[in-house]
Amino acid sequence: MLIREFDFARDFDAVVALWQASGPGVHLGMSDTPEEISRKLKRDPDLFLVAEDGAQVVGAVLGGFDGRRGMVYHLAVAPAHGGRGLGSALMAELESRLKAKGCRKYYLLVTHDNTAVTDFYQRLGWSVMPVQIMGKEIR
């Protein structure tokens, strides 16, 4: 397995297909269009990682850093490659890169219908926070 930075022209379609096939945990929206991902890459391209098996993308994680806190937006591993430590490796590499930027804390959101991943994240040292998430789309 090779973990490397996302390359838009080479990886976009494969990563979107991976996200779409990942089950209830990844909810794609208006921030996941080609235009929005291109914009995201201008800010911190080093925090969008893919895992390859040969020439096939089998995992991806999209992270961000605003100068104060980090965020994990989407983590997905192809079902056929699950249980091999690939998700953990992607998260470890993302965390290492966030730490190198000076990030001291980062967050991720887990949807209520994606209960299977809570144990995974807790094994990686994450804990559930007693907060309510609110959002607003700006149109």
> pLDDT, tens digit, for every residue of 35-58?
999 999 999 999 999 999 998 999
* Strand-strand pairing, 48-53 and 2-5: antiparallel
Q: How does pLDDT run across 53-80, given as a tens digit for each residue?
A: 998 999 999 999 999 999 999 999 999 8
How sure is the predictor about 95, in pLDDT bands with cuts at 50, 70 and 90? very high
- The distance from CA 40 to its chain's CA centroid, rounded to whole angstroms, is 13
Indicate the burial class of 54 (C-beta count within 10 angstroms; 0-12, 13-18, 19 or more).
Answer: exposed
Higher-confidence position of 53 and 25: 53
In whole angstroms, how large is the CA radius of gyration of the chain?
14
pLDDT at position 113 over 80: no
How much is the average pLDDT of 116-127? 90
Four-way CATH pick for 2-123: 3.40.50.300, 3.60.20.10, 3.40.630.30, 3.40.190.10: 3.40.630.30
pLDDT of residue 67: 95
